[in-house]
């Protein structure tokens, strides 16, 4: 699902899974994101998040940023994506992918 920010940072969105899952890799396709943090929760509700990854993405003028994050032996019920800063006032997330079982 396409998602765009409302202009102020940080911005965040949460993806929930029906049960706790094992994730081996997370990918994101976005535009104009400068700093991205991914957190996870293994709780039944979207609380008690812990930081997993924080990365400064490279600016790609006129092209989508495509990033993949390998996560060996990683479990989550919820993933929270926090866009801490951007290269412009607005950014867009075009796709989030999670591989695993």
Q: Give the pLDDT confidence score for residue 35 in this predicted structure.
A: 97
Range of the domain at 51: 3-100
What pLDDT score was predicted for residue 76? 96
Tell me the Cα Rg of the chain. Answer: 13
Pair 100, 26: CB distance under 8 Å? no
Tell me: the pLDDT tens digits for 43-66? 999 999 999 999 999 998 889 999
DSSP 89: S
Residue written as token pair 């993405």: 57
Q: Tell me which residues of the chain have a pLDDT lower than 70.
A: none
Please choose, from the candidates 101, 96, 67, the residue with its C-alpha nearest in 3D space to the C-alpha of residue 81.
96
Tokens at 85, concatenated: 């800063």
Please tell me the pTM assigned to this model: 0.92
Angle made by CA atoms 84, 1, 17, in degrees to the nearest 5: 80
**Any idea what the CATH number is for the domain that residue 59 is in?**
2.60.120.260
Domain count, the chain: 1
């Amino acid at each position: 699902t396409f998602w765009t920010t409302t202009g102020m940072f940080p911005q965040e969105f949460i993806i929930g899974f029906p049960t706790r899952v094992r994730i081996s890799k997370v990918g994101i396709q976005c535009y104009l994101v400068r700093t991205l943090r991914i957190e996870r929760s293994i709780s039944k509700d979207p609380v008690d998040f812990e930081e997993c990854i924080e990365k400064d993405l490279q600016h790609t003028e006129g092209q989508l940023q495509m990033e993949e994050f390998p996560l060996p032996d990683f479990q989550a019920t919820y993933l929270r994506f926090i866009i801490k800063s951007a290269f412009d006032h607005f950014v867009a997330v075009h796709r989030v992918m999670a591989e695993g079982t």
